[in-house]
Amino acid sequence: MEGIPIANVSHNDAMTMLEQTSRTFFIPISRLTEGLKEAVASAYLCMRAIDEIEDHESIADQTKITLLHSIRATFHSNNVMQELQQLLEPYANILPAVSVRMHEWLLLCPSSAAQTVYRYIAMMSEQMAEWVQRKWSIRTEEDLDGYTYSVAGMVGEMLSELWQWHDGTIADKVKAVAFGRGLQAVNILRNRTEDLERGVDFYPDGWEQADMIRYIDRNLQLANEYVADLKQGPALEFCALPLALAHATVQTIAGGGTKLSRANVMDIVSRVSS
Ligand SMILES: CC(C)=CCC/C(C)=C/CC/C(C)=C/COP(=O)(O)OP(=O)(O)O
């Protein structure tokens, strides 16, 4: 495995940012083996960076679209980091640090994984721009599948490529997409009230909570199969926690709750880690 190509201070900064931005993925990413950890952390932070643009409360839609298209374009330039830095610097006062510092997170990625990671970040930027353009209009289950693919399903595909890059682990990419879709749909279920308050409705026409739970169950069933098929190793260890948290969140909401309690989360973390 090649060495980590950056100074430790940047590595620490990235892991601190990861801890601040992700409740679910900080622990599984931190526990990955060297090389794979940097590739996944780099991808996670960059995807979070563009997600903050897509979701931003006060940036105009047209600006988001231009920015997301420009981010995609930087990945086809000769100097991605410099172009990204120059593109995002003017937004230093309006975007969160995880977005403004996106070029730094790219530096974390081992060079032999960069092609995969860059390809998916560029693709996600492009597809997020399209969803802003469409004003997140989701009328049918096919639309929902399209949206959950753009923001999470493709992460499953990317991770599957990274498992293979790291140690030859072969994983089912169709099930990986379902895994990502299931996780995103759990977020849609959990954030329903806030989403409606901010005027966004991810439910297809005519869907009730029960329909969304059925959609989640179908996708998480495939996620269970994805995990069951994995050999022992970092990929399997990574997947266990998000999958257990997703199942527990759906159970809680289906039972009338709103989200997992801190005690529930701690219990699941310790059960999955032992
Ligand atoms: C094969 C495989 C592992 C597939 C899964 C792919 C994957 C990790 C998709 C990310 C989905 C997602 C909803 C992230 C944000 O979650 P969050 O808002 O719950 O988490 P946060 O704590 O990071 O904000």
* Cα dihedral 163, 36, 32, 179 sign: negative
Instruction: Give the side-chain half-sphere CA count within 13 A for 136.
Output: 14
Is 68 in contact with 129 (CB distance < 8 Å)? Answer: yes
- What pTM, to 2 d.p., does this model score? 0.94
**Cβ 234 under 6 angstroms from ligand 1:** no
**Cβ-Cβ contacts under 8 Å for 242 (sequence gap 6 or more):** 24, 25, 28, 183
Q: How many CB atoms lie within 10 A of CB 273?
A: 12
Supply the pLDDT for residue 236: 95
Tell me which of 22, 183, 225, 236 to substitute to probe ligand 1's pocket, judged by most ligand atoms within 8 Å of the beta carbon.
183
Using the structure block, give the residue that is written with the tokens 């640090």.
97
List the one residue out of 53, 33, 42 whose CA is nearest residue 13.
42
**Cβ 149 under 6 angstroms from ligand 1:** no
Burial of 29 (0-12, 13-18, 19+ CB in 10 A): buried
Q: What is the tens place of the pLDDT at every residue in 199-257?
A: 999 999 999 999 999 999 999 999 999 999 999 999 999 999 999 999 999 999 999 99
Q: What is the DSSP string of 67-110?
A: HHHHHHHHTTSS-HHHHHHHHHGGGTTTS-HHHHTHHHHHHTS-
Distance CA 120, CA 114 (A): 10
**Cβ 184 under 6 angstroms from ligand 1:** yes
What's the gap in Å between 78 CA and the centre of ligand 1?
Answer: 30
Closest atom of ligand 1 to 184 CA is 13
Q: What is the tens place of the pLDDT at every residue in 59-109?
A: 999 999 999 999 999 999 999 999 999 999 999 999 999 999 999 999 999
**Cβ 176 under 6 angstroms from ligand 1:** yes
